[in-house]
Chains A and B, each alone.
Chain A
């Protein structure tokens, strides 16, 4: 077992409106600890000293729930590719840097709650705008009634792997939510079941994304690089295509229903 000393500079902010600042903590890290276990140790120590622990979101600690996320030395989820913060282990820091800056995901679309905790409910509202297939619970077709080519199904799965962690927004120099939105539009837009609502879905989800105050995509590609699931920026091009097509051709429901 090998341990080493690190200094954490952690963003502490008591409430959304309070003034935040970095606080420093000296920690002896074990290389086999996960990053969050290291923070657990810091927190237990803080509690015993009568101080408030560092608030951070986390839940499954298996890299799938998407709850954890912080910016570590300028990188969303830290230095390891295709890895969430909870799956990042301290051995990545064994050879330095021993100064670790920890900041919350920063974006207007992700208002800060406390310390490293941010509010990502904007993502839920983007899904509410159309990130679903309208199917009633009950009696759909038999699951095998509509064959889907394996390649299409696999690509839909590539997009569907998104865990909604928000690292794409955090890493984007423009704090854009394009990768998140594009992943859902692509997942559902590729499947035969998703065709009926495809144009409206693209229009409504993009509008919702814009309304949340996220920035625009300027094709830096940082999102794909930070994404723990490696979701491709190609899906953003798909979203753009769907959106333009939808804007040009979409059946205008509002106008139509006015006439009824």
Chain B
């Protein structure tokens, strides 16, 4: 398949591309907009903002979420902040610099034009959110406060205490509810998209399951927008919400949407480690902790079970400070994460034994407390320390924290063009669900920015452009042929969904609930396709996954019925899709014979550092579904860099 990114011509200077693109786009007259129905799946930053903005424009919007309210989408859990090139601090920031940092941070695996647009829109996002009542932190003069985040050399991060994601999401949620009241948006909660309806090659609707009644419901529309988040839960343990899943995206993939760069996953170094096998979720703590904490493990294996206070200074291995004298504890996320894994692989991990091993390192504040005093540390990290103590029962003021990396963001996702349209006409993807702007690695405080840019500022234009373009092809006729829920394709998809549920509920030898299989799948993906990947490991994973899948098909056990609220059934469907996505992740990781960003192949390193291969791998891997999940079809979208020249990362 030929991939057309539909980005503005490269002869246009990058700073004019979005403006010119909008100018060239087709419009839909205000009076005509209500004739078009748009389905938005997901109500996080991207989905909520898109549904609200499209509704405000006058389209007839239906928005779906699986939670009981659109206010609960997992965007809400983002702590740190949101980047914007406002240069309020007069420290040399600019749209161009944010663009530059993002392309470089993404390890030269993102589309330049998209990234520039993101940086450009970042400025509007802050204006929009402040006007909508988001209570960002302020200085005593009443102006907005900023901080430097994730090693950025400028202070461009806006924040609202440790709850920036919450406040931004509530802003979008309120805008959305305003449209619900105005009658332009119909909000359908406790509803999960289980398939996409494609009619004559175009996305024309979705099939959902009403999670309260179990009813399978068809919804038809003219455009479908997926803002369904990332797939980090493929690892079972991640910082994602328990309900976060890939089903909507994966079902769209099976219907023809290409899936790009699934192996680009981001691992966050400072999460609270597992306390036991029963654990189903990890909690992230702000990276800012590494500013004052020192990371170490015991030098000797026999010390690993001892209380940290009993380990003498000379027996402590400050591995980041030793290996990376220049950056020390502040090395980038992936480096910090990988090194934690290495020391634990060597058997130097600390904390309780879970699944037969200790997987944690210390993050010690004793020196910082000695140097700065407890009050200053309390002021800086009090909330985080309290959260840590609530979860672990240990006080970081008295004993070192234990941390371990965990997945928290996925850069890969549904392939989209510059208009955020997938390879299925009429199907759009925004936010974490698409692959677009972060390349192989995402900068801190950029996820919120991308979600809102897509939702507030990109999709409202590009969806309109699609409708306007289609309308101009059929002047005097209906833009989209009328289809009802009785259309054969809708009915066929509906039947497929019902049969799938029936199949899930009637495994031949039911034995275990879906969590059991999810946990096992997560172990495979985490160890073989996690922080460090090898050819052998990935091949091994590709042998193990189908085996486990066969077990799943045979032994899955779901109690209750499909005609009621049944959380086991919900999980089972999601886990089944994770199986297929996990397989694709491993295939993608295996074919990408280089290390870049969140994808680290142990075979491809130089002096212990990730070795990118721009000559052979400067492309997007966009995978097509062939019907055989073991043999997906690879399409390549070449990436060129006209503004930011690829350079090598080094932190020694």
Indicate whether A246 reaches chain B with its CB closer than 8 angstroms.
Answer: no
User: Once the chains are docked, how many angstroms separate the CA of A64 from the CA of B387?
Assistant: 12
Stretch at the interface among B136-144, B421-429, B490-498: B136-144
Asked if residues B144 and A144 are in contact (CB atoms below 8 Å), the reply is yes
Indicate whether B13 reaches chain A with its CB closer than 8 angstroms.
Answer: no
Sample of 19 further A-B pairs with CB below 8 A, known A37-B278, A40-B280, A89-B391 = A15-B564, A47-B513, A59-B241, A60-B242, A61-B241, A64-B76, A65-B74, A65-B77, A67-B72, A124-B71, A124-B180, A137-B128, A137-B456, A140-B130, A143-B126, A148-B138, A149-B138, A153-B135, A187-B133
Query: A67 to chain B: which residues have CB within 8 Å?
Result: 67-68, 72
The listed residue (B136, B278, B456) touching A30 by CB distance below 8 A is: B278
Would you give the shortest CB distance from A247 to chain B, in whole angstroms? 21
Asked if residues A48 and B242 are in contact (CB atoms below 8 Å), the reply is no
Closest to A165 in B: B72
Query: B456 to chain A: which residues have CB within 8 Å?
Result: 137
User: Once the chains are docked, how many angstroms separate the CA of A113 from the CA of B211?
Assistant: 11
| A interface residues, Cβ below 8 angstroms from B | 1, 14-15, 30-34, 37-38, 40-41, 43-44, 46-48, 50-53, 55, 57-62, 64-67, 80, 83, 87, 89, 91, 113-114, 117, 119-121, 123-124, 127-129, 131-144, 146-150, 153-154, 156-157, 160-161, 163-164, 187-188, 191, 193-194
Would you give the shortest CB distance from A198 to chain B, in whole angstroms? 11
Indicate whether B173 reaches chain A with its CB closer than 8 angstroms.
Answer: yes
21 CB-based A-B contacts, threshold 8 Å: A1-B352, A32-B352, A38-B278, A50-B557, A59-B74, A65-B76, A114-B564, A120-B69, A121-B69, A127-B174, A129-B181, A137-B56, A137-B460, A140-B130, A143-B127, A143-B131, A144-B144, A153-B136, A160-B170, A161-B163, A164-B72
Asked if residues A55 and B565 are in contact (CB atoms below 8 Å), the reply is yes
Given contacts A87-B391, A132-B175, A147-B143, contact A119 B76 (CB under 8 A): no
Given contacts A48-B512, A113-B212, contact A61 B131 (CB under 8 A): no
Indicate whether B132 reaches chain A with its CB closer than 8 angstroms.
Answer: yes
Given contacts A67-B67, A117-B565, A134-B178, contact A40 B515 (CB under 8 A): yes
Closest to A191 in B: B133
Query: A47 to chain B: which residues have CB within 8 Å?
Result: 512-513, 557-559, 568
Indicate whether B342 reaches chain A with its CB closer than 8 angstroms.
Answer: no
| B interface residues, Cβ below 8 angstroms from A | 49, 52-53, 56, 67-74, 76-77, 86, 88, 124, 126-133, 135-144, 160-161, 163, 166-167, 170, 173-175, 177-178, 180-181, 187, 189, 212, 239, 241-243, 275-276, 278-281, 283-284, 352, 387, 390-393, 456-457, 460, 511-513, 515-516, 557-560, 564-565, 567-568
Asked if residues A65 and B457 are in contact (CB atoms below 8 Å), the reply is no
**Interface of A (DSSP majority class):** loop
Closest to A161 in B: B163
Would you give the shortest CB distance from B183 to chain A, in whole angstroms? 10
Asked if residues B565 and A114 are in contact (CB atoms below 8 Å), the reply is yes
Closest to A164 in B: B71
Asked if residues B132 and A52 are in contact (CB atoms below 8 Å), the reply is no
Closest to A14 in B: B564
User: Once the chains are docked, how many angstroms separate the CA of A70 from the CA of B173?
Assistant: 24
Would you give the shortest CB distance from B62 to chain A, in whole angstroms? 15
Closest to A148 in B: B142
Asked if residues B278 and A40 are in contact (CB atoms below 8 Å), the reply is yes
Query: B130 to chain A: which residues have CB within 8 Å?
Result: 140, 143, 146, 193
Given contacts A128-B180, A143-B144, A191-B133, contact A83 B568 (CB under 8 A): no
Q: List the 6 shortest-distance A-B pairs measured between CB atoms, nearest first.
A: A147-B142, A140-B131, A132-B174, A47-B513, A32-B275, A128-B181
Query: A132 to chain B: which residues have CB within 8 Å?
Result: 132-133, 174-175, 177-178
Query: B71 to chain A: which residues have CB within 8 Å?
Result: 66, 124, 164
Asked if residues B133 and A133 are in contact (CB atoms below 8 Å), the reply is yes
Query: B242 to chain A: which residues have CB within 8 Å?
Result: 58-61
The listed residue (A61, A121, A144) touching B143 by CB distance below 8 A is: A144
Closest to B52 in A: A137
The listed residue (B77, B127, B187, B279) touching A124 by CB distance below 8 A is: B187
Asked if residues A135 and B128 are in contact (CB atoms below 8 Å), the reply is yes
The listed residue (A119, A131, A153) touching B177 by CB distance below 8 A is: A131
User: Once the chains are docked, how many angstroms separate the CA of A164 from the CA of B69?
Assistant: 9
User: Once the chains are docked, how many angstroms separate the CA of A80 from the CA of B386?
Assistant: 13
